[in-house]
Every structure is written in C-alpha cells, then in structure tokens.
C-alpha cells in the first residue's frame, strides 16, 4: 500500500481506504470529526471535520479568526474541545494532555517559536527525546545503571548533532537559543520536534517572520522529510506557498471547513475566491 495518494484522490475515504467497513488508519492516521471549541459566546471551531492521509503534505488556510490555530490546539491537547472527536492511528485522543498526544507521535510547532532562550541550541535539542533514562534520579546515581544512562546520552547527542546538521544550524550549537534570529528559531523548533520521533507534524505558520533564503531552506527540509515518510499538516497565511507545495488544501471559514481538495480545486472554488482571494487567484 502506498504511503500517500495522488493529488486527485482527496476527500472522503473511498473503498480502497476501508478495512472491514472502517477507515484504514494506516493510510489515514489523523481523523477529526465535528470538532467544536467555544470561548464564552464565541464559537472558534464549529463542527470541523477532515482527514489527513499518511505521507501527505496538507495545507490549512483561512483568514485571521478562521479557527486554524484553535483547531491545532484542540487536536494537540492545548485546548480541550467542547465537542467532536480526534483520532490518531485509530485511537481516540480527544482532550488528552499535550505531552500524551506528543508521546503518541503527533507533534506540533508554534506560530511563535518556543525555544528555551537561556539554554544553548544543543541543550534545547537534548531535552527533546522521549524516554530519557537519566530523568530518573536513581538511574543517574547508582553505579550499576549509570553506564546505561551515559550510553543513551551518547546516542541522543549523536542524533542531536545529525539533526542540527540536517537543518544547517550545527554551527550554532553552542549559541544561546535566545540569541537566534526568527528563522533560526523556526529551524531549531522543527529540529527539536523531530527528535521526539513523531509520525506526523503539525506546523503552525512555520514561515512567518522567516527571510526568503531561510524559507526556501525550510521548504527543502520539509519536502525531504515528507519523502522519508513524515506526514505534515501546515497552517500558513501565504496561500501561494501552500498552493505550490501541498497536494491537498483545507480551507476554514468562521470555524467551519469551507472546502477541501487539490490546489487546483481550491483555486477554482467560487466560495474560496469570493471569501479569501478577492476574485483573483
């Protein structure tokens, strides 16, 4: 079974996506059903439903206030939904705490990078991996298990350096993260996210505040990671960037899914043209 479908196979699951009458979670790892989130009298997410196919790069677009980041927050546990259901790999993860969602392989980055500013870039990387044996004090001090902790730390350090090299920021390893530029912080955040061994990455405006050269580099990294089998859901205001790089686009409007499909489908959708593109595509 292929990891990602071609660009003309988007939408609801077809017969090839079904196993015993149910959606094949090996092909559709993330499924959002009738998601709702309210803040007082304001409905930020109003019955949003969509699916993300494995190995795909999907864009989530819409104007400010459309509910995109709130949808991300509800999926990843930052906000508890008021209604609906979120499934990841067939498991109901609705309302789970963020660290529990991340431990299942669904990891997000933030619109404003959240680096640990008073730690070095390398130290930021080293706190990311899951299951660190040295986090248990007794393992760090007892002689007969300390060697095991040190061996794991050497492995994590090697992985951290490999990831810094992949994102071309290894020369900044000993720089305090708070001194990085906006684009460098975005690279660090994605590198750190990958050290958690995710299956799927939710990127919240990864290109905001990034200069064109770093944007191009970041895009190259995302495409390379996608080719390695990672799945991406990307919130981004730059619609041209999404149209040129994503094979599926989901459009939100006032907390609801307005439409979804290939970039060409979305470009030609009259509701999208009217609501977001001012009649020009």
Q: What is the pLDDT of residues 51-93, one digit of tens each?
A: 999 999 999 998 888 889 899 999 999 999 999 999 999 999 9
pLDDT of residue 37: 96
Q: Report how far residue 199's alpha carbon sits from residue 130's, in angstroms, rounded to the nearest whole number.
A: 14
Both tokens assigned to 102:
């991340």
Q: Which residues pair with 48 in a beta bridge?
A: 35
Q: For residues 160, 161, 165 and 171, what is the CA-based torsion angle, rounded to 10 degrees? A: 120
Instruction: Give residue 196's pLDDT.
Output: 83
How far is the C-alpha of 200 from the C-alpha of 232, rounded, in Å?
6
Q: pLDDT tens digits, residue range 125-138?
A: 887 766 555 555 55
What pLDDT shows up at residue 205?
A: 85
pLDDT above 70 covers what percent of the chain?
A: 79
- C-alpha distance from residue 32 to each of 48, 49, 89, 137 (Å): 7, 5, 12, 39
Does 7 have pLDDT greater than 60? no
Cβ contact 218:187 at 8 Å:
yes
CB 76 within 8 A of CB 98: yes
Strand order in the sheet with 83-88: 42-52, 30-39, 83-88, 91-92
Average of per-residue pLDDT across 23-31: 73
pLDDT higher at 110 or 46: 46
Q: Which residues contact 206 (CB under 8 A, 6 or more apart)?
A: 109, 186, 190, 218, 222, 234, 236
Q: How far apart, in Å, are the Cα atoms of 169 and each of 56, 155, 197?
A: 26, 19, 19
> Which residue, among 264, 271, 251, has the nearest Cα to 6 in the 3D structure?
264
What does the pLDDT read at residue 220?
A: 86
For residues 237-265, give the mean pLDDT: 90
Residue of 68, 56, 58, 179 lying closest to 115 (CA atoms): 179
| Mean per-residue pLDDT over the chain, rounded | 81
Structure tokens at 189: 């955040």
Report the C-alpha gap between 34 and 31 in whole angstroms: 10
- Tens of pLDDT, residue by residue over 212-224, are 877 888 888 889 8
- Beta-ladder partners of 43: 38
CB 12 within 8 A of CB 2: no
Percentage of the residues of the chain whose pLDDT score is greater than 90 = 35
Q: How far apart are CA 176 and CA 188, in angstroms?
A: 12
Read off the pLDDT of residues 172-206 as tens digits, 9 standing for 90 and up. 989 998 898 877 888 888 888 888 888 899 998 88
What is the per-residue pLDDT for 245?
A: 93
What is the reported pLDDT for 158?
81
Question: Band of the pLDDT at 12, cuts 50, 70, 90?
Answer: very low
């Amino acid at each position: 079974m292929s990891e990602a479908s071609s660009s003309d196979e988007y939408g609801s699951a077809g017969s090839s996506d079904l196993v015993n009458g149910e959606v094949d979670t090996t092909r559709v790892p993330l499924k959002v059903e009738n998601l709702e989130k309210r803040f007082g009298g304001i409905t930020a997410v109003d019955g949003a439903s969509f699916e993300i196919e494995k190995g795909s790069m999907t864009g989530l677009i819409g104007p400010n206030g459309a509910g995109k980041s709130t949808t991300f927050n509800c999926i990843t546990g930052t906000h508890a939904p008021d209604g609906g259901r979120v499934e990841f790999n067939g498991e109901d993860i609705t309302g789970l705490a963020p660290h529990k969602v991340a431990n299942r392989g669904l990891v997000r980055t933030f619109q404003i990078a959240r680096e640990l500013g008073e730690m070095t870039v390398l130290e930021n990387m080293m706190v990311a991996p899951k299951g660190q044996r040295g986090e248990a004090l007794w393992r760090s001090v007892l002689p007969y298990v300390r060697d095991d902790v040190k061996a794991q730390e050497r492995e994590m350090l090697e992985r951290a350096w490999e990831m810094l090299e992949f994102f071309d920021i290894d020369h900044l390893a000993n720089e305090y993260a708070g001194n990085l530029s906006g684009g460098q912080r975005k690279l660090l955040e994605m590198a750190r996210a990958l050290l958690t061994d995710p299956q799927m990455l939710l990127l919240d405006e990864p290109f905001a505040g990034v200069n064109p050269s770093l944007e191009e580099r970041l895009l190259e990294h995302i495409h390379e990671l996608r080719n390695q089998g990672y799945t991406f859901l990307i919130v981004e205001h730059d619609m041209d960037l999404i149209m040129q790089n994503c094979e599926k686009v989901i459009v939100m409007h006032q907390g609801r899914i307005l439409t979804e499909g290939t970039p060409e489908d979305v470009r030609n959708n009259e509701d999208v043209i009217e609501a977001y593109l001012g009649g020009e595509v």
